[in-house]
Chains A and B, each alone.
Chain A
Amino acid sequence: MLALTEKVISLDVEATTPEEAIRIAGALLVADNKVEERYVEAMVKGLKDVGPYIVIAPLIAVPHARPEQGVIQQGVSIVRLKNPVVFGHPTNDPVQIVCALCGTDSTTHIGMLQSLAAILGNKEKLKTILTTDSKEEIISITK
């Protein structure tokens, strides 16, 4: 359902700030032709404007912007940070997994969000994502 490929997964990435982490996750979407560069800027701006609410659960941030801000195709990328980064969220900091999301309109990405919530909300699967050395394993548990 998430249709992940190795291209949109990056493990043990070094980042020291939330902005850097979001840019890395965004760059994967750009490289996979899912979004335009400006979508990455919109995600960074979103964090600055509305704050760290994108840290939806302990360890997990889901940066995103709006469809009209440069989405080409629905998608998600997964970045695992080598060292956790503090985003400034009162209860869910620090962040280790950054999943940048993009959808083409307000409804067609609902399935993707549901799948993602089910995967990240599953303790076993989350543990795999946090610890595995294999992108293939991540792809296989997100199918």
Chain B
Amino acid sequence: MNIVAVCGMGFGTSLMLLMEVQAIGKKHGFTINGEAVDLGSAKGKTCDFMVASSEIAAELSDEAVEVVAINNLLDKDEIERKVMPVIEKLAKGVK
């Protein structure tokens, strides 16, 4: 599946998030492709879901896809707990 990780610059925290989500997906047997972008570029982007820090996620409430909001980007448990249900839901819906 395809995800978009978002931060203010599309360069630092979004990359951290993307790598973490990919690692979590891999652990559970899912291949996750994605890109890290800045907030402006994220709007309207086609993907299966988005992930962002909660600050940024609040700005993405108009998006068509689900936006997973993370408070503590260094907390692997929080990321896993919030992201895995979305990944599993998508995996069931996708062939």
- The CA-CA distance from A65 to B7 in the complex, in Å, is 11
The answer to whether B20 and A117 touch across the interface, beta carbons within 8 angstroms, is yes
Knowing A64-B11, A66-B9 touch, does A92 contact B72 (C-beta < 8 A)? yes
In the complex, chain B residues whose CB is within 8 Å of the CB of A90: 54-55, 71
- The CA-CA distance from A103 to B14 in the complex, in Å, is 14
**Interface-located stretch among A1-9, A14-22, A49-57:** A49-57
- The CA-CA distance from A69 to B9 in the complex, in Å, is 11
The answer to whether B53 and A103 touch across the interface, beta carbons within 8 angstroms, is no
Per DSSP, chain A at the interface is: mixed
In the complex, chain B residues whose CB is within 8 Å of the CB of A117: 16, 19-20, 73-74
The residue from A53, A60, A110 contacting B74, defined by CB atoms under 8 A apart: A60
The residue from A56, A65, A121 contacting B76, defined by CB atoms under 8 A apart: A121
Number of A-B contacts (CB under 8 A): 75
Closest to B78 in A: A57
Interface residue? A114 (CB, 8 A): yes
In the complex, chain B residues whose CB is within 8 Å of the CB of A51: 8, 55
In the complex, chain B residues whose CB is within 8 Å of the CB of A92: 71-72
Most buried by A among B19, B20, B56, B71: B71
19 A-B pairs with C-beta separation under 8 A:
A51-B8, A53-B7, A53-B53, A53-B55, A54-B13, A56-B72, A56-B74, A57-B75, A62-B12, A66-B9, A66-B10, A66-B11, A89-B55, A92-B71, A103-B12, A106-B36, A113-B12, A113-B15, A117-B16
B: number of interface residues (CB 8 Å) = 23
- The CA-CA distance from A113 to B17 in the complex, in Å, is 10
In the complex, chain A residues whose CB is within 8 Å of the CB of B47: none
- The CA-CA distance from A110 to B35 in the complex, in Å, is 13
The answer to whether B19 and A113 touch across the interface, beta carbons within 8 angstroms, is yes
Contact with B along A9-50 (1 / 0, CB 8 A): 000000000000000000000000000000000000010011
The answer to whether A56 and B73 touch across the interface, beta carbons within 8 angstroms, is yes
Interface residue? B39 (CB, 8 A): yes
